[in-house]
Amino acid sequence: MSLATYHRRGTHILYDSARLAQPDSPLLPAPGSDWLDPQAWVAKGLVTGSAPGRGASQFLAVGDEEWVLRPYRRGGLAARISQADYLWLGLERTRAFREWRLTQTLFLQDLPVPAPVAAIVVHTGPSYQAGLMTARLPRTDALAERLPTASPDLLRRVGATIRQFHDAGLDHVDLNARNLLVSDTDKVWLIDFDRCRLRPPGAWRQRNLARLKRSLERFHPAGAASSHALILQGYDQVPAGCSS
């Protein structure tokens, strides 16, 4: 992974130059607010689909690369003020740069996360808007979609994968069945590390697992209890080789 930066007129991009050679390539929208405008990517003919969720992540195909671009969007009461604007406290404290660097740390530890491609921040006055670009994980579905047919072995694998991240110190503050992806070979991946951090062992582990349980109850209420029990079985076992 080769880190590089692009800075121009309030636009800041942190990127892996091995995956994104030139942020100002004519093949891409102009670096800046266009990168955060879905229609700008559509106009370049690079959008192949989108994922559900706040802000609607876009699937992009650029040459031989496939990426996911996720804009940062507020929820709850804060969204009534602005859905996309965040208070500027310095570049390294932006949500995009912090998430990019955490994702890079996990990726370099060979944990099952998508490779980080670029963090884009557009700074104007006291606020900024941002987005995160990662490599697209091919042939994967959200665990939420797999729950009705998930085998006991897959659910134990989910638990073992979560344990890997916890042993690495990752407090995933939004651990839910949409942020766990499963490949067509039942490899389990974890995504979306916004506001997450690395911490010493603590009660946060049980809070993560409790949040996941509530997610299971939402997406598959009939099988939530048995699914959660199997996930905990996998979590409590030695997680060797669970993501291979």
Given the residues 34, 37, 85, 174, select the one marked as catalytic. Answer: 174
Query: Are 195 and 103 within 8 A, CB to CB?
Result: no
**Residue-level pLDDT at 175:** 98
DSSP state letter for 53: S
Q: Based on the residue annotation, tell me whether 184 is a catalytic residue of this protein.
A: no
Token pair 């080769």 is found at: 2
**Residue-level pLDDT at 54:** 53
**Residue-level pLDDT at 51:** 82
Sign of the CA dihedral running 203, 197, 140, 221: positive
**Residue-level pLDDT at 123:** 97
DSSP state letter for 78: G
Distance CA 235, CA 168 (A): 14
**Residue-level pLDDT at 168:** 98
Residues 6+ apart with CB under 8 A from 89: none
Beta bridge partners of 118: 15, 133
pLDDT in tens, 168-197: 999 999 999 999 999 999 999 999 999 999
Every domain of the chain and the residues it spans: 3-135, 140-236
Written as six digits, the tokens of 129 are 């808007």
The ranges of the chain with pLDDT < 50 are 79, 239-244
Written as six digits, the tokens of 161 are 């994968």
Closest C-alpha to 119, from 175, 70, 57: 70
Beta bridge partners of 61: 66
The class that CATH gives domain 140-236 is mainly alpha
The pTM (predicted TM-score) of the whole model is 0.92
Q: How many CB atoms lie within 10 A of CB 63?
A: 9
